[in-house]
Amino acid sequence: MPGFLLNSSATVLCAHAGQATPTAPFPRVQLSGMPVTTLSAPYMVAGCALPPPTAGNGPCVTAQWLVGATRVMAGGVPVLLQSGAAICTPTGTPLSVVMTQMRVMGT
């Protein structure tokens, strides 16, 4: 599924409004002056509003992307797309891409 590629400055949120950031963007490829993100690096989630285990099963701590680009690679690893899917740990909820660069698309 086509979509805009994600760079390290993309705004990505967990389902509970926690800010997700990539742990290891790929610095050799840049989009709008920021490193591109790849499927291999997990995201860290900060500020998740889901309560801890006695009242819920949260908060979201990390997230791993499950689907990346099929035709666009960086260092032999698929880059992330705005239309990709990710899941948070330990909650099992998805990440949502709120804003990203709007110049480069991929499939």
Render each residue's pLDDT in the chain as its tens digit; 107 residues: 799 999 999 999 999 999 999 999 999 999 999 999 999 999 999 999 998 888 778 799 999 999 999 999 999 999 999 999 999 999 999 999 999 999 999 99
Cβ-contact 68, 42 below 8 angstroms: no
The encoded tokens of residue 47 equal: 């500020």
- Token output for 59: 């908060």
Q: Which two tokens stand for residue 94?
A: 């998805």
Q: Would you list the domain boundaries of the chain?
A: 3-106
Cβ atoms within 10 Å, residue 81: 26
pTM higher than 0.85, yes or no? yes
98 closest CA partner among 24, 9, 26, 29:
9
User: Which of 2.30.29, 2.60.200, 2.60.220, 1.20.1630 would CATH assign to domain 3-106?
Assistant: 2.60.200
Long-range residue pairs from 28-31, CB within 8 A, at least 24 positions apart, any chain: 28/74, 28/75, 29/74, 29/75, 29/79, 31/5, 31/7, 31/101, 31/103, 31/104
